[in-house]
Chain A
């Protein structure tokens, strides 16, 4: 149990385009989802916390207009990188927790490359 999926796993896009990443909890209802960014050989950096039905809470320094987060249902949260630029290239990972889970469970990550 407690499986989290992400789609797509890989995305390559041109600079200036927008990219949407989906995070789904497959076998539980996720009351909270977290979005992280990870650079090579570095730790996970929390970008925002998303609660179902409410606006996401962004960490300091994360542009909310650039990284749009929507948590419309208890099983789906989306991260949209708007007007992507090469510096947005990174590994994006979500995690989710529900009412009965004892910890956060991570998705497999999405590797974004902006050309």
Chain B
């Protein structure tokens, strides 16, 4: 089955700096890669997603890149703000209706 690895497990950045979280996956059939932000005790919220027919997607300060050949995808947050502090999860799926295989999460702390 699919195996998703996520690094780093913790990340601290100064406010205004960029943060990058990386994930790798094992199943070449995976073609949908969402990223979720989860604040303590709350539900995961979709922040951005990308499909395998696209190499990059951007939404304001957030961007995701995908390298299908290398089977890795990354989340980039620019101009970080304290409210970006949360746990971020990547996931991989062979389609949106199938199960998601989640990474182990990255705890991001943005220091004011």
Asked if B43 and A42 make an inter-chain contact with CB atoms under 8 angstroms apart, the answer reads: no
Bound CA span A104–B45, Å: 10
**Which residues does chain A contribute within 8 Å of B49, judged by CB atoms?**
102-103
**Which residues does chain B contribute within 8 Å of A21, judged by CB atoms?**
none
How many residues of chain B have a CB within 8 Å of chain A? 20
- Asked if A77 lies at the interface with its beta carbon under 8 angstroms from chain B, I say no
Interface 1/0s, chain B 20-32, versus A by CB < 8 A?
A: 0000000000001
How many residues of chain A have a CB within 8 Å of chain B? 22
- Asked if A108 lies at the interface with its beta carbon under 8 angstroms from chain B, I say yes
A43-B105, A103-B34, A103-B49 are known contacts. Are A108 and B44 too (CB-CB below 8 A)?
A: no
- Asked if B69 lies at the interface with its beta carbon under 8 angstroms from chain A, I say no
Asked if A109 and B99 make an inter-chain contact with CB atoms under 8 angstroms apart, the answer reads: no
| Contact count A vs B, C-beta below 8 Å | 47
Bound CA span A109–B103, Å: 19
Q: Within residues 40 to 67 of chain B, which ones have a CB less than 8 A from any CB in chain A?
A: 41-46, 49
Bound CA span A104–B32, Å: 11
Asked if A34 and B99 make an inter-chain contact with CB atoms under 8 angstroms apart, the answer reads: yes
Query: Does more than half of chain B's interface fall in helix, strand or loop, or is it mixed?
Result: loop
Asked if A108 and B42 make an inter-chain contact with CB atoms under 8 angstroms apart, the answer reads: yes
Interface 1/0s, chain A 21-42, versus B by CB < 8 A?
A: 0000000000110100000011
Asked if A107 and B43 make an inter-chain contact with CB atoms under 8 angstroms apart, the answer reads: yes
A42-B105, A44-B102 are known contacts. Are A109 and B97 too (CB-CB below 8 A)?
A: no
Bound CA span A77–B22, Å: 34
Q: Which of A93, A102, A109 sits near B96, CB closer than 8 Å?
A: A102
Interface 1/0s, chain B 85-112, versus A by CB < 8 A?
A: 0000100000011011011110100000
Bound CA span A97–B97, Å: 7
Interface residues of chain B, those whose CB is within 8 Å of chain A, are 32, 34, 36, 41-46, 49, 89, 96-97, 99-100, 102-105, 107
4 A-B pairs with least C-beta separation: A106-B43, A108-B43, A43-B102, A43-B104
Besides the known contacts A91-B41, A104-B96, 20 further A-B residue pairs in the complex with CB atoms under 8 A apart = A34-B100, A41-B107, A42-B104, A43-B103, A44-B44, A44-B89, A46-B99, A49-B99, A93-B43, A93-B44, A102-B96, A103-B49, A103-B96, A104-B100, A105-B46, A106-B43, A106-B44, A107-B43, A109-B41, A109-B43
